[in-house]
Structure 1
């Protein structure tokens, strides 16, 4: 039995993907002795199987950082890296990690990656665990500083440590890190995020009776909430003309504090009179308010015939969208705007990528009118993605077949 440390010190909430990724890894690797490191104030509901030990990342911030936020200058980053190194050394020692054991840092930040590699490098060479370091966004990799030289230094440190291996979530980020920041042998690594990706999945049903479109993103500004109403109205015109079946739009309307609307999240809510304007059109809106539990989110994805992601390609050119991954893994088509990462999976789905509002509505109609074709492509992509997820766990982590739970088979628990 190996010892596995899943390192996610920023993982705090049950919603979103960080906890879901950690939980999924514990289920895939359930035959091993696992420790998960989470945020010190992580949601008490973020639980794991009885064989998994959860510990909190210690409170290491200074009073100044707590009151005024973390500074981002080189000196401040170096000081945090020094503190993190001492904390990581204690955690690695407490877990008793050694040769053959595994550390997974699935939402990596530059300073903590450097600290982790330093801890491993200080161990006797024949007693070092392997470290598998997965970057999700360019901003996280740069510690929010925009420092390209800091990221290049992270790449050099990983390259110099034989036990360290670098990954990203998509091929676009992998190629960018290797071409621009000098990373070597970096590979894309998709990890399951929800139970959507295991066992049998219910069919969506005939879209001709009622076509269900899921706008299920969290409505951050870069996820296109300001486009939703226009897409819905353009779709209503198509339904009125008989070019699209009667359609139900499931829309998440996540309340956003006014201060965030002014700054980071300028969410445009649907007009109060939108339902009145849609009366008699054959289009209805089902609003889902507030945060969703994992089960509730799963239900909405499964109810949808197609998922819609009118995201900002400039924000997502290196970022994966969890909505695409979840869609693939329930065999549902997706319509996206151009320029979003994971182009290889979009190609497998033959996913429409329209550039205009009217084009987006027309793409939704095309999926409805050719649903057997798109559904078959999504189902095939689901099988491919699940196979790859199992394969990389074994190939990347050096595990034998019996060390990875076979959760992706039809009928699997």
Structure 2
């Protein structure tokens, strides 16, 4: 019998409080840990989320937890899920269930008290492992523990059936292979993913982008992404992708999923912005992707680098530098020099503003903005001098075209 050992989350006071509350309602053994926490504990990897399963209906779980003085949030009652907060840590508790109806995006479920029935509706066998409060592991499919040992990602039951229940499982198949798999992806899962790849297009953009970024955050997602491309799944998600060469090189340079995504996209800021919009990425992620498209010239001087840093910021400069380096457009020595410069240089503050322009004799109006823009351009071109601002401002004012100033 397999038992989880040396797991602080399993024996912590906060965890014991949740277990005790539920067992006071449903009896000993009525609650088990399930999924990622069990899988990762067996793999010797960090455990982040704590998910539990119980035959108790969600209303009974909530009553029991509140009676024990724990905070409870009804996070998904229709699917049997409540979240208990103990010691500031969330515990997601879901009633055992079986699927009644699925459409490839969402499911209608019915509650059950059968652990095997609950396991049968899960995605992969290594995610259908349960552990009780003492750490004893239960393997209802009979193959989950073997998959953990072999690092195999295999669907529960028939792969096509599992995928038709929720097409997101195609992306999860590749994501879990990237994180936990070893060797070639499971042949049946790969065939099913290839056959049903078009189903990914029916999913919401938010679900797709979230899963994609999780996949790209894996230590080395290259094999999984190659398999996605061969199966036609990558084209269903990112039809813009051509060669994987830049992406493959980027993985060696950065573990940032946004930067790795950038390396999958073409060097066209309009196309990249359109992709970010289609995937419903955040504004920050969109801006990073668009900014990373520009190249850092191989012969960029320190002075030119400071001007570029001033214009686009440190993060965008680094992103652009990494993409250029991954493409082979700039050498390693130049990359190290520019990385050091970006780390050490502090962006100076514009030394003049509207008040100084007014003091120099220019009446407030649209010309103020043009004067400041001219001043800033010259200040940047001269490498951000710390003095001479009055003379530079006067020159900017005099530089306004005569027709623009005349007739007043």
TM-score if structure 1 supplies the norm length?
0.26
Question: 1 or 2 for the larger relative contact order (CA 8 Å, sep ≥6)?
Answer: 1
User: Highest CA radius of gyration, 1 or 2?
Assistant: 2
**Which structure: greater helix fraction?**
2
